Amino acid sequence: MQRFNLVDEPFIVALGMDNRMHEISLLEALIHAHRYVDIGGEMATQDAAITRLLLAIVHTVFSRTNEDGIESPLEDEDEAIDRWSEIWEMGQFPEVPIRNYLETWHDRFWLFHPERPFYQVPDVYGLTAENALEKTGLSNPDCTGPKTKATFTSAKLNGEIGESGNKVRLFSPRLRAAKRTLTFAEAARWLITFHGFDDASGKESKESKGARTEKADDSIGVGWLGKLSLAQAVGRNLFETLMLNCVFIRDGRELFGEDRPTWEREVLEVRERNYIPVPDNFAEILTIQSRRVLLIADEKSVLGFASYGGDFFNREGAVNEQFTMWTVPKASKGKSSLPVPRYQDLPVQMWREISSLLIREEPGSGSGHYPPGVVSWIRRLPENLSPSIIAFRYVKIKYDSKNCSATNCISDSLSMSRDLLTKLGENRLIRIAQEVKKCDDAAYAVKRFGENLFDAEGGDMNGRQFKSNREARIDAGNIAAERYYFEMDLPFRRWLMSLSARDSREKFEHDIQVLRKIACDNALRLGRQMYESSSPSAFAGHWSGKESSERKHCSSPEAYLIFQRMVGRALNTEKKDECASSVHDRQRE
């Protein structure tokens, strides 16, 4: 039975120009993209996944046809830039080629279909759309969980809850029975997100283990997007966002292979944990099926789903992915190293990663890093057509130590002058990154001050630190550093927005000094607040260290003097001792 076609049915949540949220279909989202500000789903991960689906369609259509819908595959880089420019100048996507494409592949977008359900397989371990409700027991209102393997309730599919059934999620946005159901529109959104960001808690079947020829370390792991530090460009509306991310030239150097999105496959791939080569085309890597899924639904809603591992490939050298920051490990002797998507945690503030986002650094004595391919693509675009202000955003899912559940989601955005991405702005970007490093050094000084104040308060327990004390000391320092980054966040963004590659050298150097003064003032102000709020016990200080030769005295005045010197060295400034008056005040107390 065919139900709920994504081409026609509204399921994408988008922010309209009226500042209201609207549910729209695939067709509406594309032909009227200029009428919406952006995708506005329940989570940033969902927005990123939906954007990639829309991009796959846009790229497939316009890599094959021109703006008039006439078949004309791209032949070279110049033609790609010309076609992009013509569509950009229209201010909206031409309706005819998009409508023709979606009508051609209309039957592949049914959310429920006996043979080709969208982003799904028709059979999971013997479960099908016809028998799944009965076999799993999900049709029973009193059912506490599915009875079959690799099957979950809708609470697991819903990224806002992510409840696997092993334990109840605290502070869930939905309660009791409401957690177990999703509307068809909600299920479609979360299904697309699930392929990209699912955790690695799924177990491999015995049949798959026996048939697998890859090495054990070629594990499927989390979904493909969960392995990335996902970064995208952002425009003034959804049309501009899709156009800026519609990368026709891979890494700004060459065309991709012919697009093959997953719904165009003649034969549906159903093999479990299927190792594949890195896709050579833009649309396939955007629609990679990291899981084999079957939604379990009644007449009105989705109650659960069955899932097992799907397609995966090695992360090393997968540079056809255009929307991640890359780390280049230090090469071993006589060997070269391949770039890998950055997998480390990202800071809350995106400007702290401006070097990894925008600057290419070859590995030398240490590791290097490459910017996302979309940055190289934007640098190739005609400067007079692309917006004068360019923005980027990133999203990162943090998993637990075994990648079995998501523990946090980090997302942020950053805006700057477009001309900083030109040849004229290359050296200035390097200087900006250097100033960010100085801010990091100042934050480290604040962190050390927080740790030293902890010792001055007696947290060291006279050298008999328990694990909880060591963790508490680290936490004290980290909290202090995050307070500093919070104080610097808005001033840095305003400062970055004020810069232009066309400014004179004198003005740019003056702007650098302005930022350093802001960074220094914020650090010293925060340090003074921490010093003045410390206890009399910290003023008197404590001895730390086990052995007599290692014992040292730590007090808040001593820690404050060290802190000031560290800030001065970090920001190349000379500050007088500002704690003297406070010391005398505390002595009088």
Domains of the chain: 3-312 (no CATH), 425-588 (1.10.132.100)
Q: Is the pTM of this model over 0.85?
A: yes
Six token digits for residue 451: 């740790």
290 close to 403: Cβ distance less than 8 angstroms: no
Question: What is the Cα–Cα distance from 487 to 493, expressed in whole angstroms?
Answer: 11
Question: What is the Cα–Cα distance from 184 to 191, expressed in whole angstroms?
Answer: 10
Residue with tokens 């808040």: 556
User: Among 285, 391, 407, which residue's Cα sits nearest to residue 345?
Assistant: 407
Give the pLDDT score at 207: 61
Predicted confidence (pLDDT) per residue in 523-566, tens digit = 999 999 999 999 888 888 887 766 555 677 889 999 999 999 99
Give the pLDDT score at 580: 39
Six token digits for residue 299: 């007449």
Band of pLDDT at residue 334, cut at 50, 70 and 90: low
Kindly state the DSSP code that residue 109 receives in the 8-state scheme. G
**Mean of the per-residue pLDDT values of the chain:** 88
Question: Dihedrals φ, ψ of 541, to 5°?
Answer: 90, 170
Instruction: Kindly tell me if the per-residue pLDDT of 57 is higher than 70.
Output: yes
Q: H-type helices in 151-303, by residue range?
A: 154-157, 184-197, 206-211, 238-245, 282-286
Six token digits for residue 375: 């940055």
Least confident range from 174-183, 355-364, 433-442: namely 174-183
Question: What is the Cα–Cα distance from 93 to 55, expressed in whole angstroms?
Answer: 12
User: Among 118, 98, 121, which residue's Cα sits nearest to residue 108?
Assistant: 118
Q: Hey, what's the torsion of the CAs at 107, 112, 117, 119, to 10 degrees?
A: 110
Q: Is 436 exposed, middle or buried (0-12, 13-18, 19+ CB in 10 A)?
A: buried
Instruction: State the average pLDDT over residues 412-423.
Output: 94
User: Among 539, 582, 554, 569, which residue's Cα sits nearest to residue 451?
Assistant: 554
Coil, strand or helix at 365: coil
Distances (CA, A) of 272 to 289, 297, 428: 11, 23, 49
Predicted confidence (pLDDT) per residue in 111-157, tens digit = 999 999 999 999 988 889 888 888 888 877 767 677 677 888 888 89
AA identity, residue 425:
G
